[in-house]
Amino acid sequence: MPRIGEVFVSGRAKWLVLGVWLALAGLLPFAAKLQSIENDDVVNYLPATSQSTRVEQLLREFPAGQTSTAAVVYARDGGLGEADLARIHAAQEDVPRKIAEAQPFGTIVPAPDGNAALFLVRLPHDPQRLLGDVDRLRDLAQGASSTGDVTVGVTGPAVFLAYQNEALKNIDVKLLTAAGVAVMVLLLLIYRSPLLCVLPLVTTVLALIAARAAVDRGSERADFRRGHRLRSSAHRPISAGTPARR
């Protein structure tokens, strides 16, 4: 037992530990790739036989199931005039030309008192471009307003989803950084040593990198094996005595 302890406190041990740390740090590119394959859809946490899962699967088969709806609203105290409604109609027709795959639907809906009007637009349900599409739609709508007394706004599920995705972007890094700072302050107050404060944090970060890299490599290997099985079954010859399944 003492000999084992001597191994860990010997002069060579520090270089061994440093080498292991550098090797784990080298896995950072693989750990960073994990976020690109993560899927946090609610349906992934539901049973495959649940009604909510079935509804989500059916929605994806329809064009509307792959879009998010935005509402473009115009308002003016004292009422919108005919010229305003004409410009709103022109903006509605201009949406597909200015925003790729955007689909206005329905007619312009005026408010009962005539002070406001809106029209609806389906935007592609793509988290990577949804915020940009919302901004382009807002710019287009504001460009259709010739006077400053017309208030223009864009709202609806597409806008909420776009800003939600923006707020949650890189949330893991933000939370990890905040937790790391809090732990560093506590360790510094407890041990009063910068070295003892940094070592646990470095070890934790390297362990996280190793875990995420292992999950990323494992997921790619699982996908490869699944694809290999599918290709093998597709090319497997069917014997003459066995009828092909339809």
Pairing between β-strand 67-75 and β-strand 151-155 as defined by DSSP bridges: antiparallel
Q: List the chain domain ranges.
A: 67-167
* C-alpha span between 28 and 207 (Å, rounded): 11
Question: What does 176-240 look like in DSSP terms, one character per residue?
Answer: HHHHHHHHHHHHHHHH--HHHHHHHHHHHHHHHHHHHHHHHHHHHHHHHHHHHHHHHHHHPPPPT
pLDDT recorded at residue 119:
93
**Which CATH number among 3.30.70.1710, 1.20.1090.10, 1.10.1510.10, 1.10.1060.10 corresponds to the domain 67-167?**
3.30.70.1710
* C-alpha span between 73 and 86 (Å, rounded): 14
pTM here is 0.55
Tell me the per-residue pLDDT of 136-189, one tens digit each, with 9 for 90 and over: 999 888 876 666 688 889 999 999 989 888 888 778 778 878 888 888 888 888
**Amino acid at position 165, single letter:** N
Tell me the per-residue pLDDT of 182-228, one tens digit each, with 9 for 90 and over: 888 888 888 888 887 888 888 887 887 788 778 777 776 665 444 44
Q: How many Cβ atoms from other residues are within 10 Å of residue 103's Cβ?
A: 16
- List beta partners, residue 110: 117
Q: How many Cβ atoms from other residues are within 10 Å of residue 10's Cβ?
A: 11
